[in-house]
Amino acid sequence: MASHSADCRYPTEMDEAIKKLESALGPTDVMVASAGVGYPTAIDLENLEQTTETFQTNVLGVIHAFRSVLPGMIHRKSGQLAAVSSLAAFKGFPGESAYCASKAAVNIFLEGMRIRLKGTGIVVTTICPGFVKTPMTDINNFHMPFLVSAESAAQKIMKALEKRQSVACFPWQMSALVGLLRVCPDRLIQWLFADYNSSSPNQSG
Ligand SMILES: NC(=O)c1ccc[n+]([C@@H]2O[C@H](COP(=O)([O-])OP(=O)(O)OC[C@H]3O[C@@H](n4cnc5c(N)ncnc54)[C@H](OP(=O)(O)O)[C@@H]3O)[C@@H](O)[C@H]2O)c1
Protein backbone atom coordinates (compact mmCIF):
# COMPACT_ATOMS: atom_id res chain seq x y z
CA MET A 1 0.00 0.00 0.00
CA ALA A 2 1.44 3.35 -0.99
CA SER A 3 1.20 6.26 1.38
CA HIS A 4 1.60 9.93 0.69
CA SER A 5 1.63 12.99 2.86
CA ALA A 6 0.38 16.46 2.00
CA ASP A 7 -0.87 19.30 4.18
CA CYS A 8 -4.35 17.96 4.72
CA ARG A 9 -5.76 21.37 5.64
CA TYR A 10 -5.42 22.71 2.11
CA PRO A 11 -7.49 21.03 -0.59
CA THR A 12 -5.35 22.14 -3.54
CA GLU A 13 -2.20 20.68 -2.02
CA MET A 14 -4.11 17.47 -1.30
CA ASP A 15 -5.48 17.32 -4.86
CA GLU A 16 -2.00 17.79 -6.33
CA ALA A 17 -0.54 15.05 -4.11
CA ILE A 18 -3.31 12.62 -5.10
CA LYS A 19 -2.93 13.48 -8.79
CA LYS A 20 0.82 12.81 -8.63
CA LEU A 21 0.31 9.56 -6.73
CA GLU A 22 -2.41 8.28 -9.07
CA SER A 23 -0.43 9.08 -12.20
CA ALA A 24 2.43 6.96 -10.80
CA LEU A 25 0.46 4.11 -9.20
CA GLY A 26 -3.02 4.12 -10.70
CA PRO A 27 -6.40 4.92 -9.17
CA THR A 28 -6.90 5.01 -5.42
CA ASP A 29 -8.64 1.87 -4.13
CA VAL A 30 -8.44 2.76 -0.44
CA MET A 31 -8.09 6.18 1.19
CA VAL A 32 -7.13 6.12 4.86
CA ALA A 33 -7.26 9.63 6.34
CA SER A 34 -5.09 9.33 9.42
CA ALA A 35 -3.46 12.74 9.93
CA GLY A 36 -4.44 14.24 13.24
CA VAL A 37 -3.36 16.55 16.04
CA GLY A 38 -4.30 16.64 19.69
CA TYR A 39 -3.92 19.47 22.20
CA PRO A 40 -5.44 19.88 25.63
CA THR A 41 -8.27 22.43 25.55
CA ALA A 42 -7.43 25.39 27.79
CA ILE A 43 -9.90 26.02 30.57
CA ASP A 44 -10.42 29.61 29.31
CA LEU A 45 -10.38 28.52 25.64
CA GLU A 46 -7.51 30.95 25.01
CA ASN A 47 -5.57 28.38 22.95
CA LEU A 48 -7.89 29.11 20.05
CA GLU A 49 -5.12 28.62 17.48
CA GLN A 50 -4.60 25.01 18.60
CA THR A 51 -8.35 24.42 18.67
CA THR A 52 -8.68 25.78 15.13
CA GLU A 53 -5.81 23.55 13.96
CA THR A 54 -7.49 20.56 15.64
CA PHE A 55 -10.69 21.03 13.66
CA GLN A 56 -8.90 21.95 10.43
CA THR A 57 -6.68 18.88 10.52
CA ASN A 58 -8.90 16.29 12.20
CA VAL A 59 -12.19 17.18 10.50
CA LEU A 60 -11.53 19.19 7.33
CA GLY A 61 -8.45 17.05 6.62
CA VAL A 62 -10.67 13.97 6.40
CA ILE A 63 -13.22 15.76 4.19
CA HIS A 64 -10.54 17.09 1.83
CA ALA A 65 -8.87 13.69 1.62
CA PHE A 66 -12.15 11.98 0.74
CA ARG A 67 -13.12 14.69 -1.74
CA SER A 68 -9.86 14.27 -3.61
CA VAL A 69 -10.57 10.59 -4.43
CA LEU A 70 -14.37 10.27 -4.35
CA PRO A 71 -15.17 11.38 -7.93
CA GLY A 72 -12.86 8.65 -9.25
CA MET A 73 -14.33 6.04 -6.90
CA ILE A 74 -17.90 6.99 -7.87
CA HIS A 75 -16.91 6.73 -11.54
CA ARG A 76 -15.35 3.28 -11.01
CA LYS A 77 -18.19 2.20 -8.67
CA SER A 78 -15.65 0.87 -6.17
CA GLY A 79 -13.43 2.02 -3.37
CA GLN A 80 -13.01 2.35 0.36
CA LEU A 81 -12.91 5.51 2.44
CA ALA A 82 -11.54 5.20 5.97
CA ALA A 83 -10.60 7.65 8.69
CA VAL A 84 -8.69 7.18 11.90
CA SER A 85 -11.01 8.69 14.49
CA SER A 86 -10.74 7.77 18.18
CA LEU A 87 -12.60 6.27 21.11
CA ALA A 88 -12.47 9.89 22.35
CA ALA A 89 -15.30 10.50 19.86
CA PHE A 90 -17.76 8.88 22.25
CA LYS A 91 -17.35 11.13 25.31
CA GLY A 92 -16.46 14.76 25.97
CA PHE A 93 -13.51 14.21 28.29
CA PRO A 94 -12.59 17.18 30.49
CA GLY A 95 -9.50 18.99 29.22
CA GLU A 96 -9.91 17.34 25.80
CA SER A 97 -13.14 18.97 24.62
CA ALA A 98 -11.81 20.11 21.23
CA TYR A 99 -10.11 16.81 20.39
CA CYS A 100 -13.17 14.77 21.43
CA ALA A 101 -15.52 17.07 19.53
CA SER A 102 -13.36 16.87 16.38
CA LYS A 103 -13.41 13.06 16.48
CA ALA A 104 -17.16 13.00 17.17
CA ALA A 105 -17.57 15.17 14.05
CA VAL A 106 -15.50 12.66 12.06
CA ASN A 107 -17.68 9.76 13.25
CA ILE A 108 -20.92 11.51 12.35
CA PHE A 109 -19.57 12.70 9.00
CA LEU A 110 -18.51 9.17 8.10
CA GLU A 111 -21.83 7.75 9.28
CA GLY A 112 -23.70 10.06 6.92
CA MET A 113 -21.32 9.23 4.05
CA ARG A 114 -21.71 5.50 4.73
CA ILE A 115 -25.48 5.68 4.46
CA ARG A 116 -25.34 7.99 1.42
CA LEU A 117 -22.88 5.75 -0.45
CA LYS A 118 -24.65 2.44 0.27
CA GLY A 119 -25.13 0.50 -2.94
CA THR A 120 -22.54 2.50 -4.89
CA GLY A 121 -19.70 0.00 -4.40
CA ILE A 122 -17.89 2.37 -2.02
CA VAL A 123 -17.59 1.42 1.64
CA VAL A 124 -16.83 3.74 4.54
CA THR A 125 -14.85 2.57 7.56
CA THR A 126 -14.53 4.47 10.85
CA ILE A 127 -11.56 3.43 12.97
CA CYS A 128 -11.66 4.26 16.68
CA PRO A 129 -8.50 3.33 18.57
CA GLY A 130 -7.91 3.77 22.27
CA PHE A 131 -4.43 4.81 23.41
CA VAL A 132 -1.69 3.85 20.93
CA LYS A 133 2.03 4.31 21.59
CA THR A 134 3.06 6.97 19.05
CA PRO A 135 4.77 10.40 19.23
CA MET A 136 1.28 11.82 19.97
CA THR A 137 1.01 9.90 23.24
CA ASP A 138 4.75 9.81 24.08
CA ILE A 139 4.38 13.30 25.55
CA ASN A 140 1.57 12.28 27.92
CA ASN A 141 2.56 12.21 31.58
CA PHE A 142 -0.55 10.41 32.79
CA HIS A 143 -1.48 6.75 32.92
CA MET A 144 -2.93 5.53 29.62
CA PRO A 145 -5.02 2.43 30.27
CA PHE A 146 -4.76 -0.47 27.79
CA LEU A 147 -2.07 1.30 25.74
CA VAL A 148 -1.30 -0.75 22.60
CA SER A 149 1.74 -0.67 20.32
CA ALA A 150 1.59 1.06 16.94
CA GLU A 151 2.21 -2.36 15.30
CA SER A 152 -0.75 -3.92 17.06
CA ALA A 153 -2.96 -0.94 16.12
CA ALA A 154 -1.82 -1.19 12.49
CA GLN A 155 -2.76 -4.89 12.41
CA LYS A 156 -6.22 -4.13 13.81
CA ILE A 157 -6.69 -1.35 11.25
CA MET A 158 -5.61 -3.61 8.36
CA LYS A 159 -8.05 -6.30 9.52
CA ALA A 160 -10.93 -3.80 9.72
CA LEU A 161 -10.11 -2.52 6.23
CA GLU A 162 -9.92 -6.03 4.77
CA LYS A 163 -13.25 -6.98 6.36
CA ARG A 164 -14.71 -3.69 5.07
CA GLN A 165 -16.06 -3.06 8.58
CA SER A 166 -18.30 -0.04 9.18
CA VAL A 167 -16.89 0.88 12.59
CA ALA A 168 -13.85 -0.70 14.27
CA CYS A 169 -13.14 0.09 17.94
CA PHE A 170 -10.10 -1.31 19.77
CA PRO A 171 -8.74 -2.51 22.10
CA TRP A 172 -11.95 -4.06 23.40
CA GLN A 173 -11.03 -3.31 27.03
CA MET A 174 -10.72 0.44 26.36
CA SER A 175 -13.81 0.33 24.17
CA ALA A 176 -15.78 -1.22 27.06
CA LEU A 177 -14.35 1.33 29.51
CA VAL A 178 -15.39 4.25 27.29
CA GLY A 179 -18.84 2.67 26.94
CA LEU A 180 -19.06 2.66 30.73
CA LEU A 181 -17.76 6.25 31.06
CA ARG A 182 -20.42 7.41 28.61
CA VAL A 183 -23.14 6.59 31.10
CA CYS A 184 -21.31 7.73 34.23
CA PRO A 185 -22.54 10.86 36.03
CA ASP A 186 -20.46 14.02 35.43
CA ARG A 187 -19.38 14.08 39.07
CA LEU A 188 -17.67 10.70 38.75
CA ILE A 189 -15.88 11.75 35.54
CA GLN A 190 -14.73 14.94 37.29
CA TRP A 191 -13.31 12.87 40.15
CA LEU A 192 -11.60 10.37 37.82
CA PHE A 193 -9.94 13.18 35.84
CA ALA A 194 -8.98 15.36 38.82
CA ASP A 195 -5.26 14.49 38.62
CA TYR A 196 -5.11 14.88 34.84
CA ASN A 197 -6.80 18.25 34.95
CA SER A 198 -4.58 19.61 37.71
CA SER A 199 -1.39 18.63 35.86
CA SER A 200 -2.60 19.31 32.33
CA PRO A 201 -0.86 22.11 30.40
CA ASN A 202 -2.87 25.07 29.12
CA GLN A 203 -4.90 25.31 32.27
CA SER A 204 -5.11 29.04 31.98
CA GLY A 205 -4.18 29.62 28.38
N1 LIG B 1 -1.92 7.77 19.43
C2 LIG B 1 -3.12 7.54 19.95
O3 LIG B 1 -3.28 7.13 21.13
C4 LIG B 1 -4.35 7.74 19.12
C5 LIG B 1 -5.57 7.25 19.61
C6 LIG B 1 -6.71 7.42 18.87
C7 LIG B 1 -6.65 8.04 17.64
N8 LIG B 1 -5.47 8.52 17.19
C9 LIG B 1 -5.47 9.18 15.88
O10 LIG B 1 -4.60 8.48 15.03
C11 LIG B 1 -4.13 9.37 14.02
C12 LIG B 1 -2.63 9.25 13.92
O13 LIG B 1 -2.07 9.76 15.14
P14 LIG B 1 -0.69 9.29 15.75
O15 LIG B 1 -0.93 8.75 17.10
O16 LIG B 1 0.09 8.48 14.76
O17 LIG B 1 -0.05 10.74 15.96
P18 LIG B 1 1.36 11.33 15.50
O19 LIG B 1 2.41 10.35 15.76
O20 LIG B 1 1.44 12.68 16.14
O21 LIG B 1 1.16 11.48 13.92
C22 LIG B 1 0.28 12.42 13.40
C23 LIG B 1 0.41 12.38 11.91
O24 LIG B 1 -0.47 13.37 11.36
C25 LIG B 1 0.26 14.15 10.42
N26 LIG B 1 -0.28 15.52 10.36
C27 LIG B 1 -0.57 16.36 11.40
N28 LIG B 1 -1.04 17.54 10.92
C29 LIG B 1 -1.06 17.44 9.56
C30 LIG B 1 -1.45 18.30 8.49
N31 LIG B 1 -1.94 19.53 8.74
N32 LIG B 1 -1.34 17.85 7.23
C33 LIG B 1 -0.84 16.61 6.96
N34 LIG B 1 -0.45 15.74 7.92
C35 LIG B 1 -0.56 16.15 9.19
C36 LIG B 1 1.67 14.15 10.92
O37 LIG B 1 2.52 14.43 9.84
P38 LIG B 1 4.02 15.02 10.13
O39 LIG B 1 4.76 13.93 10.80
O40 LIG B 1 4.48 15.33 8.76
O41 LIG B 1 3.80 16.21 11.00
C42 LIG B 1 1.83 12.72 11.41
O43 LIG B 1 2.15 11.85 10.36
C44 LIG B 1 -4.62 10.77 14.42
O45 LIG B 1 -5.77 11.08 13.68
C46 LIG B 1 -4.96 10.61 15.90
O47 LIG B 1 -5.93 11.54 16.33
C48 LIG B 1 -4.32 8.38 17.89
* pLDDT category of residue 14 using cuts at 50, 70 and 90: confident
Ligand 1 nearest-atom number relative to CA 99? 47
Q: Are 89 and 40 contacting, i.e. CB atoms less than 8 angstroms apart?
A: no
Enumerate residues lining ligand 1, CB below 6 A: 5, 7-9, 34-38, 57, 84, 86, 129, 131-132, 134-137
24 vs 98: CA distance, rounded Å: 37
For ligand 1, atom 23: residue with the closest CA: 35
For ligand 1, atom 2: residue with the closest CA: 132
* pLDDT category of residue 2 using cuts at 50, 70 and 90: very low
Buried b (16+ CB within 10 A) or exposed e, 148-166: beeeebeebbeebbeeeee
- Residue-wise pLDDT for 16-74, tens only, equals 899 999 999 999 999 999 999 999 999 999 999 999 999 999 999 999 999 999 999 99
Predicted pLDDT at 201: 59
* pLDDT category of residue 136 using cuts at 50, 70 and 90: very high
17 vs 7: CA distance, rounded Å: 9
Ligand 1 nearest-atom number relative to CA 103? 47
- Residue-wise pLDDT for 69-90, tens only, equals 999 999 999 999 999 999 999 9
Q: How far is the CA of 136 from the centre of ligand 1 (A)?
A: 7
Kindly list the structural domains of the chain, giving each domain's residue range(s) and its CATH number in brackets, ordered by start.
11-199 (3.40.50.720)
What is the pTM (predicted TM-score) of this model? 0.93
Query: Does 3 score more than 80 pLDDT?
Result: no
For ligand 1, atom 33: residue with the closest CA: 7
User: Span 173-197, mean pLDDT?
Assistant: 93
> Annotated active-site positions, please?
99
